[in-house]
Structure 1
Amino acid sequence: MQRLFLHFYLFMLLVLLGIGWSVDRLWQQSQPQQQPGWVSVLGQSLASQLNQPDASAEQIAGQLDLPLQILAINAIAWSEPEQQALSRGQLVPLFSGNAVYFYRHSHDEQLLLQFGPVEIEASSHQGYFFTLLFFALLAIAVALWLWPLARDIQQLQRQLKQFGQGMQLPEQKLPAHSLLAPIANSAQQMAEQIRRLVALQREMTHAVSHELRTPLARLSFALEMQNIAAADKQAMLQDVKELDQLVDEMLDYARLESQTVQLTKEQVNLAELADNLVEKLTPLPGAAIKLQKPDTLWLCCDAHYLERALQNLLVNAKRYAKQQVLLTLSQQQNQLLVRVEDDGPGIAPEQRDKILQPFVRLDESRSKGHGGFGLGLAIVSRIVCWHQGQISIGDSKLGGALFELRLPLKQPQPNK
């Protein structure tokens, strides 16, 4: 950042100096080298009237509407030719800025008559032109400096977006002379480190999960062969089953979290998918599921993973609901709205941000005796993220929790 600041500061300093000097030179060269013609005409008219024997300086100044002042002869530093002209009784013009003054000896040789000032109007259009020229050149110079910077920023943004979507490192790096090269190199190092850490985490998860399957299978087989009380055996087998389910969920979440899953998107009638899912979950223990939906509701999505997300939400709702679970599908403008509600104990506002994280469960009063490993909602969050959607948690009108999914909706023409 220090390099970028110094580069921009020096660039702007040199550009302002260069453009200011150039425009000033052009301005000076454009100014007329000779005095306007009306100045000579006015001077001749004034001198002619002053040479009249009965002429009064006050009367002449009033007739010509010129200010008149009496000055001492030494009030102005005259050049030698100007002093000679005054001595001969001639009218001498002097220019000061955008004004002209006319001087002549009064009857008293030690005093001067000063007529004026008379304003010389400069061309306003010419001033506007040079002002516009200055800012135009400044804009062009800044654009030439910003263009390669904006191009490199866009390239870096594309690379970061590409890495965020598929963890792919950029094939083409920014040139070494780019002002963003240090930032791009830091981002490259960070991306490589993230890839190594994710790969290590994925390998460890898979290794641990697969290594657990073998002893779990042996343990299950050994329990079946043991001659122990049926109740104790059933409790032990249930523990083994829960561990096996935990391994499956860990593997699923690891695939989703590492973004190794490639979604197969197609046009899916979500209303039909919801019908089939409710029918499949109805035999499971827990509250009944009520479905509210239109006849057809098409969505471009991966049907397998979106069904998995809805199943996790419905199973979670059945687990905590008292008597009913409500699944609502609707369309709001360009979004598909999925709402899963229950009449259970609900979720406290301070716990809603945490519950979507992996291995996070609610307090014991809610989770005890209900099973779960804290991965179901984390998987839902990941699947919704893969579909560029959003998930939010609130309070249901039924009295329990409300899970709301918002997915970008494209209304295709169904295949006939």
Structure 2
Amino acid sequence: MRRLFLRFYLFILLVLLAVGWSVERLWEQSQSPELPGWVELLGQSLAYQLAAPEQSAEQVAAQLNLGLQPLPPQSIAWSDAEYQALERGQLVPLFSDNQVYFYQMLQDQLLQFGPVQVEVPAHNTYLFTLLFFLLLGIALAGFLWPVARDIETLQRQLRQFGQGMQLPDQPLPERSLLAPIAGSVQQMARQILRLMSLQREMTHAVSHELRTPLARLKFALELQALPDSEKRAMQQDLAELDQLVDEMLDYARLEAQTVRLSFEDVNLVELLENLLEKLAPLPGAPILLQRPARLHWTCDGHYLERALQNLLLNAKRYARSQVLLSVQQQGSWLSFVVEDDGPGIPAEQRDAILQPFVRVDQSRSRDKGGFGLGLAIVSRIVGWHQGRLRIDDSLLGGARFSLELPLLQTGAKNNNAA
């Protein structure tokens, strides 16, 4: 930032000096008088009469109604050309404050004739002010345009990194003012990728390592002569641990950025009916479906079904008596709305529950179940589809999840989720 400040400060200083000097020179040139033709004729007449020996300078001045005043020869700072003209006896005019004076050297004495009033057209100063700010604006635009372009490039790279966790292929050039910032961003991105890689490796390792002791516990439990109630409780604990391992593995695989989506035209009516038929035997509130007669959309049917299944299971888990799934199309967006009549979700926790291992019910009671990974997976799938996931209050009294998908190009198939 110090480098950016110094370069911008020096640029502004140099631009102000250059533009100010240029406009001042133009102003001075515009102020150079263009004397009327009669002034030149008056000077010629004055010179002609002064050259006549029968008339004195006082008589000539009186005839032409001009003032006459003798001055010391060195009272005026003459240029070399003007001084040489005076020495040759020529008449020299000088312009000052809309007045013209005529000078002649006579017997080592400087005679001043005049003044003669001259009307000079006034110049519009606002034009030069406008010119100054116009040049200053052009210079600033030339300086700030590369900075704005680099900021836009950096913003695009950060957006791409946030969507796909990939480092930018073309970093900013070293001459860019934002090159140090871009370098810091790349360093941060590498650190994030490294930490995410370590997290995935740890999740995979822990999940796989849990498989073996769980299998031994299941085998040992079958061999033990225990009361049925105790054995069922222990088997339920083992099943819960097994489910946790499965969800951890699924989430780690989805976070690995290696999933390839297959976007194609999907019959959503058939997909929703098959999904509800699969979820009907599971415990929880029944699901009511509201859908159009026909509905096709470009998406990855497998992962969309997975996202809707997680939302519906979550709703069945917390609903008291009913769950409502409705589908509607609004322009270029398709909206899946899952509502329930459960306790709802507090507004301050709606963003947090989309993170992994975060649950509204921190007690993890056995009747509710869940490990806080279902909604995180839904959020991930929605992001791959460039969609939106919103959480609101439902008219049924519980929570309302809106999964919104944009219209994608049919040709976008087999795209990498990253």
Residues 109-154 of structure 1, C-alpha deviations (whole Å, 9 max, x = no match): xxx99886x6521355x973x5565445434433433344344334
- In the TM superposition, residue 176 of structure 1 has moved relative to its aligned partner by 2.8
- In the TM superposition, residue 365 of structure 1 has moved relative to its aligned partner by 7.9
- In the TM superposition, residue 102 of structure 1 has moved relative to its aligned partner by 8.8
In the other structure, the counterpart of 1:6 is: 6
Q: What SS class does the counterpart of residue 186 from structure 2 fall into?
A: helix
Q: What SS class does the counterpart of residue 355 from structure 1 fall into?
A: helix
Q: State which drifts further: 266-275 or 3-12.
A: 266-275
Note if contact 1:298-1:410 (Cα within 8 Å) is conserved in structure 2: no
The structure-2 alpha-carbon separation of the partners of 1:237 and 1:24, relative to structure 1 and needing over 3 Å to count, comes to same
The structure-2 alpha-carbon separation of the partners of 1:319 and 1:35, relative to structure 1 and needing over 3 Å to count, comes to same
Structure 2 Cα separation of the partners of residues 351 and 173 of structure 1: 38
Residues 197-222 of structure 1, C-alpha deviations (whole Å, 9 max, x = no match): 01100000000001111111121122
- What residue identity is the alignment partner of 1:25? R
- What residue identity is the alignment partner of 1:13? L
Structure 2 Cα separation of the partners of residues 319 and 80 of structure 1: 102
- In the TM superposition, residue 101 of structure 1 has moved relative to its aligned partner by 7.8
- What residue identity is the alignment partner of 1:20? G
Q: State which drifts further: 247-256 or 360-369.
A: 360-369
Percent of aligned pairs with the same residue?
A: 65
- In the TM superposition, residue 196 of structure 1 has moved relative to its aligned partner by 1.0
Q: State which drifts further: 26-35 or 158-167.
A: 26-35
Note if contact 2:269-2:293 (Cα within 8 Å) is conserved in structure 1: yes
In the other structure, the counterpart of 1:359 is: 357
The structure-2 alpha-carbon separation of the partners of 1:293 and 1:22, relative to structure 1 and needing over 3 Å to count, comes to same
| Corresponding residue pairs, total | 381
Note if contact 1:223-1:233 (Cα within 8 Å) is conserved in structure 2: yes
Residues 267-288 of structure 1, C-alpha deviations (whole Å, 9 max, x = no match): 2232332122112111212211
Structure 1 segment 51-200 matched on structure 2, within 5 A: 95-96=96-97, 99-100=98-99, 119-122=119-122, 124=124, 128=127, 134-200=132-198
Structure 2 Cα separation of the partners of residues 340 and 159 of structure 1: 35
- What residue identity is the alignment partner of 1:403? F
Q: State which drifts further: 319-328 or 199-208.
A: 319-328
Q: State which of 286, 289, 311 in structure 2 corresponds to 1:288.
A: 286
Given the alignment of the two structures, is residue 213 of structure 1 paired with residue 211 of structure 2, yes or no?
A: yes
Note if contact 2:33-2:120 (Cα within 8 Å) is conserved in structure 1: no
Structure 2 Cα separation of the partners of residues 29 and 211 of structure 1: 88
Q: What SS class does the counterpart of residue 158 from structure 2 fall into?
A: helix
Structure 1 Cα separation of the partners of residues 38 and 322 of structure 2: 100
Q: State which drifts further: 332-341 or 135-144.
A: 135-144
Given the alignment of the two structures, is residue 36 of structure 1 paired with residue 33 of structure 2, yes or no?
A: no
- What residue identity is the alignment partner of 1:294? P
Q: What SS class does the counterpart of residue 391 from structure 1 fall into?
A: strand
In the other structure, the counterpart of 1:385 is: 383
Structure 2 Cα separation of the partners of residues 192 and 410 of structure 1: 31
The structure-2 alpha-carbon separation of the partners of 1:38 and 1:397, relative to structure 1 and needing over 3 Å to count, comes to farther
Residues 289-336 of structure 1, C-alpha deviations (whole Å, 9 max, x = no match): 111111233332221111111101111111222221100101123221
- In the TM superposition, residue 391 of structure 1 has moved relative to its aligned partner by 1.7
Note if contact 2:344-2:393 (Cα within 8 Å) is conserved in structure 1: yes
- What residue identity is the alignment partner of 2:292? P
Q: State which drifts further: 359-368 or 305-314.
A: 359-368
Structure 2 Cα separation of the partners of residues 412 and 177 of structure 1: 42
The structure-2 alpha-carbon separation of the partners of 1:352 and 1:127, relative to structure 1 and needing over 3 Å to count, comes to closer
Structure 1 Cα separation of the partners of residues 351 and 190 of structure 2: 29
Given the alignment of the two structures, is residue 398 of structure 1 paired with residue 399 of structure 2, yes or no?
A: no
Structure 2 Cα separation of the partners of residues 363 and 202 of structure 1: 26
TM-score computed with the length of structure 2 as normaliser: 0.76
Q: State which of 371, 374, 390 in structure 2 corresponds to 1:373.
A: 371
Q: What SS class does the counterpart of residue 379 from structure 1 fall into?
A: helix
Note if contact 2:200-2:256 (Cα within 8 Å) is conserved in structure 1: yes
Structure 2 Cα separation of the partners of residues 15 and 185 of structure 1: 30
In the other structure, the counterpart of 2:16 is: 16
- What residue identity is the alignment partner of 1:189? Q
- In the TM superposition, residue 362 of structure 1 has moved relative to its aligned partner by 2.3
Note if contact 1:43-1:102 (Cα within 8 Å) is conserved in structure 2: no
Which structure has the higher relative contact order (CA within 8 Å, separation 6+)?
A: 2
- In the TM superposition, residue 79 of structure 1 has moved relative to its aligned partner by 5.6
In the other structure, the counterpart of 1:305 is: 303
The structure-2 alpha-carbon separation of the partners of 1:187 and 1:219, relative to structure 1 and needing over 3 Å to count, comes to same
- In the TM superposition, residue 251 of structure 1 has moved relative to its aligned partner by 1.5
- What residue identity is the alignment partner of 1:6? L
Q: What SS class does the counterpart of residue 6 from structure 1 fall into?
A: helix
- What residue identity is the alignment partner of 1:399? G
In the other structure, the counterpart of 2:337 is: 339
Note if contact 2:344-2:398 (Cα within 8 Å) is conserved in structure 1: yes
Q: What SS class does the counterpart of residue 268 from structure 1 fall into?
A: strand
In the other structure, the counterpart of 1:319 is: 317
Structure 1 unaligned regions, length at least 5? 45-50, 58-72, 82-91, 104-111
Structure 1 Cα separation of the partners of residues 286 and 329 of structure 2: 24
Note if contact 1:391-1:406 (Cα within 8 Å) is conserved in structure 2: yes
- In the TM superposition, residue 227 of structure 1 has moved relative to its aligned partner by 2.2
The structure-2 alpha-carbon separation of the partners of 1:180 and 1:412, relative to structure 1 and needing over 3 Å to count, comes to closer
Note if contact 2:299-2:408 (Cα within 8 Å) is conserved in structure 1: no
Q: State which of 230, 233, 241 in structure 2 corresponds to 1:232.
A: 230
Note if contact 2:263-2:410 (Cα within 8 Å) is conserved in structure 1: no
Structure 2 unaligned regions, length at least 5? 45-58, 79-92, 103-112, 412-418
- What residue identity is the alignment partner of 1:308? R
In the other structure, the counterpart of 1:67 is: none
- In the TM superposition, residue 27 of structure 1 has moved relative to its aligned partner by 4.2
Structure 1 Cα separation of the partners of residues 409 and 269 of structure 2: 14
Structure 1 Cα separation of the partners of residues 173 and 95 of structure 2: 62
In the other structure, the counterpart of 2:87 is: none
